[in-house]
A = this chain, B = another copy of it.
Amino acid sequence: MFPYNAHNRQLLETALGNEPADLVIRDGILMDVYTGRVVPHRSVAVAGRWIAYVGPDAVYAIGERTRVIEADGRVIAPGFIDPHTHIANFWNISDFLQYAIPGGTTTYITEVEGFCFASGAEGFRAFLDQVRDRPVKIYCLIPPMVSTSPAAAARFITAEETRGLLRDEQVIGLGESYWQSAILTPDDRIIHLIQETVKAGKTVEGHAAGAVDRRLAAYAAAGATSCHEAVSSEDVLSRLEMGYCVMLREGHVRKDLESIRPLIGKIDLSRCTLATDGADPEFLLSEGYFTDVIQKAVEMGLEPIEAIRMATLNPAAHFGLDHLIGGIAPGRFADILILPAPETMSPDLVISEGRVIAEGGTTLIPLPRVPHPDQILKTVHIPLIAPEKLAVPLSACSKPGGVRTMDIQENGLVAREGFAEVSSEKETVSPDPGSDLLKIVFIERVSGRGERFVGFVRGWGQKRGAVASSLVWDASGIVAIGADDLDLAGAINRVIELQGGTVLALGGEIAREIPFPIGGYSSERRIEELTAEASALQKAVRDLGSNLPSPRLTLETLASAAIPFIRITEKGYFRFRENDYVGV
């Protein structure tokens, strides 16, 4: 089912003047996203959660109980829509919203991959229950769960489950499927998910990082209709020309908004949107959410109305929701911002579904927590591990005198295959922190047997201790990196005991820990505390020698199918170019 308005009758009677409005906004400058005009002296009437009227003056709709907001020449704009984000992990969603709402984002379209790698469709439903009936809209995308880890298959959401989930009005499409794994394999699994989604009339999100020409075409042919991985103006043009909606990402992982600059004024941007692709907790707490992206677009030279369209109407239209959100028009949800001036994106007032929910940067409404079901609290199915089980016998090395390594590059995301010479004096290969050679472990948490692979990593930089985390992208498992087996096992075992978390072990002790017991991906702790803990853990890792910009982010991504060139799985390293699994 799709979201719909069950109160059209009430709304039309208010529009006609037969019933008073609940809220009237008077004398604002309307950002008319439909025509691209900025229209002075406009007024809006709201009945319940919906807009009943927009036009010269809604004074006729003012009754005794009508709340009247005088815009006094300030700007009336639609609530912002972030069409591609990841807000299901780390924090409790109520805490997230408290910090995100004042910036004016009233619709969040989020991937829900973590909960699903933890518990499949059951995890997805658990997150859906977190986001229903919130004061803002959080629409969810079903993750295709492209993974390099074979164990993840046990958690895949099937085509039949997808069909069922798509009936939920909170579910508006299929999430990003990394193009390599969606089209360069003979496996039709994701194509079947795509077909179910298109049959249901919902959208299929893409992720075409680095794809050009034939491969970019093949991915569109497979059914992907958006891409948030354009990193140059050539990428923007080629994607648009092939029918993709281009979501210009400007977030903590990458900042690509500049790629649109050479195209401003040269092409039609109605199939371009802005997007965050997720938020960093520290940035969220200090700067808020998404507003900065729209502001930056204006500062780059986009007309404010154009920047606003890219964060309102354009994403709404892409998802086929423009009859409900993305504009100030009758029949739409009353998601309305009062901005101080056309070029200033930080709202004075945030109205969502007819309610004033934030004012002057502060959230005004309570955001009660929704309890999680028990099943999502026990998802790390791994027996505790003894340090000696992490030994790598010299005989396992693929070449004499050395081991294959994952070499993390400077940005902390990409890793390349490497080769490190090791001593052949002992029967096992040990980490050598002095030359930045550490062990890296992946243990799957699905089968109950804890299938694992122990390899080697360079570029991490820690001189002592070990980190382990269940908060890993695109896989059902724990990733750990360490300078010795004792701390490695200690960190891993603590994550298992916590049923999810990120842990630093040092000298046989647990030095720092952040529990993520909700599916192994998120926490009920207050976001401020959680963010402080994450920063402290990150600082501790840096104090132990790591020079990475964000060790936490690096750790999360080491098993991800989204990032080249080599990743770790329970079956060995996975190499994208060779499309194979290899050992040390």
List residues of chain A with CB under 8 Å of any chain B CB. 1-2, 4-6, 8-9, 11-17, 30, 32, 34-37, 39, 50-56, 60, 183, 188, 191, 194-195, 198-204, 213-215, 217-223, 225, 237, 240-243, 267-268, 270-271, 317, 320, 322-323, 327, 329-332
The answer to whether B54 and A9 have CB atoms under 8 Å apart is no
Interface centre among A5, A203, A217, A219, by most chain B C-beta atoms within 10 angstroms, is A217
The answer to whether B8 and A221 have CB atoms under 8 Å apart is yes
The answer to whether A267 and B37 have CB atoms under 8 Å apart is yes
Where chain A touches its partner, the secondary structure class is mixed
The answer to whether B201 and A201 have CB atoms under 8 Å apart is yes
Select from chain B the residue with minimum beta-carbon distance to A42. B241
Interface centre among A36, A204, A330, by most chain B C-beta atoms within 10 angstroms, is A330
A34 and B221 in contact, given A16-B215, A183-B16, A215-B16 (Cβ under 8 angstroms):
no
Select from chain B the residue with minimum beta-carbon distance to A204. B323
Q: Beyond A34-B240, A34-B271, A243-B331: 10 further Cβ-contacts under 8 Å? A: A5-B198, A8-B222, A36-B267, A39-B241, A51-B221, A55-B242, A218-B330, A220-B329, A220-B330, A242-B329
Interface centre among A1, A39, A214, A327, by most chain B C-beta atoms within 10 angstroms, is A214
A198 and B12 in contact, given A54-B217, A217-B54 (Cβ under 8 angstroms):
no
The answer to whether A56 and B221 have CB atoms under 8 Å apart is no
Q: For A327, list chain B residues within 8 Å (CB).
A: 243
List the 9 closest pairs (A to B, CB-CB), nearest first. A243-B329, A15-B218, A36-B268, A220-B330, A201-B201, A11-B221, A4-B198, A221-B330, A2-B201
The answer to whether B221 and A331 have CB atoms under 8 Å apart is yes
Q: For A16, list chain B residues within 8 Å (CB).
A: 183, 214-215, 218
Q: For A202, list chain B residues within 8 Å (CB).
A: 201
Select from chain B the residue with minimum beta-carbon distance to A182. B12
A2 and B199 in contact, given A54-B242, A243-B329, A331-B221 (Cβ under 8 angstroms):
yes
Q: For A268, list chain B residues within 8 Å (CB).
A: 34-36, 270
Q: For A15, list chain B residues within 8 Å (CB).
A: 214-215, 217-218, 220-221
Q: For A2, list chain B residues within 8 Å (CB).
A: 198-201
Select from chain B the residue with minimum beta-carbon distance to A190. B8
Among B8, B12, B13, B32, contact of A241 (Cβ-Cβ < 8 Å): B32
Distance (Å) between the CB of A399 and the closest chain B CB?
33
Cα–Cα, bound, A15→B217 (Å) = 6
The answer to whether A330 and B4 have CB atoms under 8 Å apart is no
- Between-chain CB contacts (< 8 Å), 13 pairs: A8-B195, A9-B188, A11-B218, A11-B221, A12-B219, A15-B214, A36-B268, A50-B221, A52-B217, A55-B242, A204-B323, A222-B331, A317-B317
Among B55, B222, B241, contact of A213 (Cβ-Cβ < 8 Å): B55
The answer to whether A199 and B8 have CB atoms under 8 Å apart is no
Interface centre among A13, A16, A55, A242, by most chain B C-beta atoms within 10 angstroms, is A242
Q: For A4, list chain B residues within 8 Å (CB).
A: 195, 198-199
